[in-house]
Chain A
Amino acid sequence: MNALALTDERVESLRHEVRDFLAEQIAAGKFAPGVDSWLAGFDRDFTRELAQRGWLGMVWPEEYGGHGRSAVERFTVMEELLAAGAPVSAYWAGDRQIGPALLRNGTEEQRRRFIPQLVAGEVLFCLGLSEPDSGSDLASVRTTATKQDDGSWIINGSKVWTSGAHHKDYMLTLCRSLPGSERHEGLSQLIVDLHASGVTIRPVLLLSGSHHFNEVFLDNVRVEADMLLGTENGAWAQVTTELSDERSGPERYMSTVALIRAYAEEPEENTRHREETLGRLAGQLWSLRALSLEVVDQVQRGQSASLLASTSKDLGTRFEQESVGIVREGLARRPEPGSRLDGLLEQAITHSPGFTLRGGTTQVLRSIIAKKLGL
Chain B
Amino acid sequence: MSEKNDDLADLLVDVLTDHCTAEVIEAAEGSWAADLWKVLEDLGLTSVGVPEDEGGAGGGLADAATVVRVAGRFAAPAPIAQTLMIAPALRRRFSLRHRPGPTAVGWSAVRATRDADGVRLVGTLSDVSYAAAAAQVLVLGTDTDTGEIVLADVPAEVIGWETRADLAGEPRGSADIDVRVETFGALPDEEADDVIERARDDEALALTWSMVGAMEKVQQLTVTYVKEREQFGRPIAKFQAVKQLAAQIAGLTAVSLAAANEATASYVRHGAAPFPVAAARSRTAAAATDVTRYAHQLHGAIGYTREYPLHQYSRRIWAWRDEGRSAVEWTDITGRRAVARGADQLWQTLTQE
| B interface, over-half SS | helix
Determine whether A137 belongs to the interface, using a CB cutoff of 8 Å to chain B: no
Shortest Cβ gap from B211 to chain A (Å)? 13
Question: A314, B338: Cβ atoms under 8 Å?
Answer: no
Q: Is the CB of A279 within 8 A of B338?
A: yes
Q: With a CB–CB cut-off of 8 A, which chain B residues contact A314?
A: 247-248, 251
B351 close to chain A: CB less than 8 A: yes
Q: With A and B bound together, what is the CA distance between A289 and B350 in angstroms?
A: 9
Q: In the complex the two chains form, what is the Cα distance from A260 to B344 in whole Å?
A: 11
Residue of A whose beta carbon sits closest to that of B338: A282
A370 with B246: CB separation less than 8 A: yes
Measured between C-beta atoms, what is the minimum distance from A123 to chain B in Å? 31
**Pairwise interchain contact A287-B347, C-beta atoms closer than 8 A:** no
> Is A185 part of the contact surface with B, judged by Cβ < 8 Å?
no
Candidate in A15, A279, A281, A367 with the most chain B CB atoms within 10 angstroms: A279
Q: Is there an interface contact between A369 and B250, defined as CB atoms closer than 8 Å?
A: yes
Task: From known contacts A275-B332, A279-B331, A287-B255, infer whether A367 and B243 are also in contact, taking CB-CB under 8 Å.
Answer: yes
Asked if A198 CB lies within 8 Å of chain B CBs, one says no
Which of B331, B334, B347 is the most central at the interface, judged by chain A CB atoms within 10 Å of its CB?
B347
Contact between A363 and B244 (Cβ–Cβ < 8 Å)? yes
The reply to whether B247 and A282 contact each other, CB–CB distance below 8 Å, is no
Interface residues of B in 87-106 (CB under 8 A from A): none
Q: Is B134 in contact with chain A by the CB < 8 A criterion?
A: no
**Nearest CB on B from A2, distance (A):** 14
Q: Are A367 and B350 in contact (CB under 8 A)?
A: no
Q: Which residues of B contact A281 (CB under 8 A)?
A: 335, 338
Q: Which of A265, A277, A373 is most buried by chain B, counting CB atoms within 10 A of its CB?
A: A373
* Interface set, chain A 274-320, CB cutoff 8 A to B: 274-291, 293-294, 308, 311-312, 314-315
Given A261-B346, A366-B243, check contact A282 B251 (CB 8 Å): no
Task: Indicate if the CB atoms of A308 and B343 lie closer than 8 Å.
Answer: no
Pick from A11, A261, A370: contact of B347, CB below 8 A: A261
A 77-115 binary contact with B (CB < 8 Å = 1; else 0): 001000100000000000000000000000000000000
Query: Which residues of A sit under 8 angstroms from B282, Cβ to Cβ?
Result: 279-280, 283
Chain A residue nearest to B253 in the complex (CB): A311
**Distance, CA A185 to CA B299, complexed state (A):** 39
Residues of B with C-beta under 8 A to A363 = 240, 244
Tell me if A370 and B243 are in contact (CB < 8 A).
yes
- Does the CB pair A12–B353 fall under 8 Å? yes
How many of chain A's residues have a CB under 8 angstroms from any CB in B? 45
Residues of chain B within 8 A (CB-CB) of A276 are 328, 331-332, 335
Q: Is B65 an interface residue (CB 8 A)?
A: no
Distance in Å: Cβ of A83 to nearest Cβ of chain B: 5
Chain A contacts with B in 347-368, Cβ cutoff 8 A:
363, 365-367
Contacts of B334 in A (CB 8 A): 278-280, 282-283
User: B49-57, B109-117, B171-179, B273-281: which one contacts chain A?
Assistant: B273-281
Task: Say yes or no: B279 contacts A282, CB within 8 Å.
Answer: yes
B13 lies within 8 A of chain A by Cβ = no
Q: Which of B66-108 contact A (CB under 8 A)?
A: none
Q: Binary interface profile of B, 262-279, with partner A (CB < 8 Å = 1, else 0)? A: 110000000000011011
Report whether B280 and A287 are in contact in the complex, using a CB–CB cutoff of 8 Å: yes
Please tell me if B223 contacts chain A, counting CB pairs below 8 Å. Answer: yes
Cβ-neighbour of B331 out of A15, A265, A280, A293 (below 8 A): A280
Q: Once bound together, how far apart are the Cα atoms of A146 and B346, in whole Å? A: 54
User: Are A370 and B261 in contact, CB atoms less than 8 angstroms apart?
Assistant: no
List B contacts of A285 (CB < 8 A): 350
Contact of B351 among A15, A288, A366, A369 (CB under 8 A): A15
Whether A311 lies near B254 (C-beta < 8 A) is: yes
Task: State the CA gap A370–B254 with chains docked (Å).
Answer: 14
- The reply on B339 being an interface residue by CB < 8 A is yes
Q: Which residues of A contact B226 (CB under 8 A)?
A: 375
| Residue in chain B with minimal CB distance to A280 | B331
Closest to B334 in A: A279
Q: Closest CB of chain A to B181's CB: distance in Å?
A: 39
B237 at the interface (CB under 8 A from A): yes
Chain A residues closer than 8 Å to B246, beta-carbon distance: 370, 373, 375
The answer to whether B346 and A264 have CB atoms under 8 Å apart is yes
- For the complex, give the distance between the alpha carbons of A315 and B256 in Å: 11
A120 within 8 A of B: no
CB pair B336–A275 under 8 Å, yes or no, is yes
Nearest A-chain residue to B266, judged by Cβ? A290
Q: Are A279 and B333 in contact (CB under 8 A)?
A: yes
* Residues of B321-353 contacting chain A, CB below 8 A: 328, 330-336, 338-339, 343-344, 346-347, 349-351, 353
Give chain A nearest CB distance to B337 CB in angstroms. 8
Q: How far is the CA of A290 from the CA of B256 in the complex (A)?
A: 9
Q: Is A232 an interface residue (CB 8 A)?
A: no
Contacts of B223 in A (CB 8 A): 373-375
Write the chain B residue with the least CB distance to A8.
B353
B259 an interface residue at 8 Å Cβ cutoff? yes
Residues of chain A within 8 A of B255, CB atoms compared = 287-288, 290-291, 311-312, 315
The answer on a CB contact under 8 Å between A366 and B344 is no
Given contacts A278-B334, A291-B254, A315-B255, contact A367 B344 (CB under 8 A): no
Q: Does A257 contact B (CB under 8 A)?
A: yes
Interface presence of B11 (CB below 8 A): no
B19 touches A (CB below 8 Å): no
- In the complex, the answer to whether A282 meets B227 with C-beta atoms within 8 Å is no
Contacts of B250 in A (CB 8 A): 311, 369, 373
Q: Is B283 interfacial (CB-CB < 8 Å)?
A: yes
Interface residues of B (CB under 8 A from A): 223, 226-227, 237, 240, 242-244, 246-248, 250-252, 254-256, 258-259, 261-263, 275-276, 278-280, 282-283, 286, 328, 330-336, 338-339, 343-344, 346-347, 349-351, 353
Can you list 5 contacts pairing A with B, beta carbon distance less than 8 Å? A15-B351, A275-B332, A279-B338, A280-B335, A283-B282
Closest 5 CB pairs of A and B: A279-B335, A278-B335, A370-B243, A290-B262, A275-B335
With contacts A257-B347, A276-B328 known, what are 8 further pairs, Cβ within 8 A? Answer: A261-B344, A280-B282, A283-B334, A290-B262, A291-B259, A311-B255, A314-B247, A375-B242
